[in-house]
Amino acid sequence: MTIHREGYPTIIISAIILSILNAVVFWLSCSNYCWVGDLFLFLSIFVWLFLISFFRIPARKLTIQENAVVSPCDGKVVVIEEMYDEEYFKEKRLQVSIFMSPANVHVNRNPMDGDVVYNQYHKGKYLVAWNPKSSTENERHSVVLKKGNTEVLVKQIAGALAKRIVNYLKVGQKVKQTEELGFIKFGSRVDLLLPVGTKINVELNQPVKGGVDIIAFI
């Protein structure tokens, strides 16, 4: 397991802040209430280890398959339905949405090889990520990957806790399946907009692993 580069500033700053707070709590409580300092230290270690866990990149065998769309993130499938895309396609698409809890790995990966033909950041709200309106009203970052005649839109969506979406792609860039697409800090969601009629390989409420599980075949 390694730590994602987005996590180092957060982990280091949190360690400094928690150390200072622990010193203050220990100094104020050591004479009569030493247990308070011990409890605060225990809670601080728990929070710090959670932050390290949040930014983890576990070692895993990634799926590279020519005709497959692999999961762009870890999480649970919460939506499989047809919808009308107002942003890019201006037509019906098949939407597959994956909810990422704070406990999930939060690195996002390219679901397939292709050329980046669209990349757009949108300001927005911070509704809970499982709210259907979060796809169109929340802060989000959309990219479209094109492979042959097939285009797939990947939408990183901020949730109630997620306040920062990181996207590494640029229009004109050629990307490889399972390479890093970006990162979302804390609970969030990723949508895939696929051509109508795409063969889906997952079910509602199914847990998936980013870069490993196949979402669909194209």
Q: 3-class SS at 110? A: coil
Phi, psi of 63 (to 5 degrees): -95, 120
Q: Is 101 a known active-site residue?
A: no
List 71, 134, 142, 188, catalytic entry: 188
E strand residue ranges, 2-90: 2-3, 56-57, 68-70, 75-85
Rounded to whole angstroms, the Cα distance separating 101 from 194 reads: 23
Residue type for position 186: F
Residue type for position 146: K
Distinct helix (H) and strand (E) counts, the chain: 3, 16
Neighbouring C-alpha atoms within 13 Å toward the C-beta of 115: 8
Catalytic residue list: 188
